[in-house]
Amino acid sequence: MQSGSIYVPRDEKFTGASPQNLYVTFWYAGRKSRLWTRGVIGVAGFAAGSLLAARFGWSDTLLPGVVVGALAALADFLVAWRSFTRTAVWRGSRRGEVRTGRLLRRALTRHGYRVMDGRAVPGEASIDHLVIGPGGVWIVDNEAWSPDTYIARYGERLFFDEKFGTSVAKGLIDAASTLAALLARETDIDVAIVPVLAAHSGKIEGRGGTVTAEGLTVAYPHRVARWIRSQPNGSLTEEQVELLARTAARILRGTALRRR
């Protein structure tokens, strides 16, 4: 027997559709509902602004009401739009590694950090970003999950919904260990490399949009640079940063950034 319920007729327009396409379909289908809600919020804001103006004895109560109502409606629009744009990488309309690389360079370069993109660690999986700076060395990878995926730590274990995060963590930890050994051998600088995973979409159940378990930190892309600066894993001089960066550029093969 074919999969599906015999009591519920199959909707052919959704048959074979990917989760990403279904998400976009339902998002646009809910446009009228969002506009209705936004209108109610705007009216409530108008009423609140007018009441405040009357309470403080302002002669013009209309303008404050219009301003507060418009700001309330704008805030609702921005919240809704942000929730949609956060799924862009998961939907395939943006490249996660491009976005994260831009955020890392914008936040870290002025503080003496070097950011290198698309590097292949010998014998290990390729990494999206290598960050070297005064606070130490990190590797940063990118992944995207569906918007309703919960990423959390329970005890000492990392979870993506009901699935253990062990396999995800192990690949990055192995790449970090191999790269640390290579850099130490080539430069005589003993470094510990910390793996970080930038999560595009999904819901991270952790303080400040980050969670750490099983040797791996998972964070929203816009939180990664701030986390790196707040969690130094060493102390490197400017000369050491330069030597490590030049050595990494020499021994690590560049790879084409993969689409996420």
User: What is the tens place of the pLDDT at every residue in 199-246?
Assistant: 988 888 877 889 999 999 999 999 999 999 998 877 899 999 999 999
Q: 199: which residues sit within 8 A by CB, 6+ positions away?
A: 143, 144, 145, 151, 218, 219, 220, 221
Distance CA 66, CA 53 (A): 11
Question: Cβ distance 228 to 96 under 8 Å?
Answer: no
In single-letter form, the type of residue at position 17 comes to: A
Distance CA 133, CA 107 (A): 12
Whole-structure pTM over 0.95, yes or no? no
User: What is the tens place of the pLDDT at every residue in 72-128?
Assistant: 999 999 988 888 877 777 777 678 888 999 999 999 999 999 999 988 888 777 889
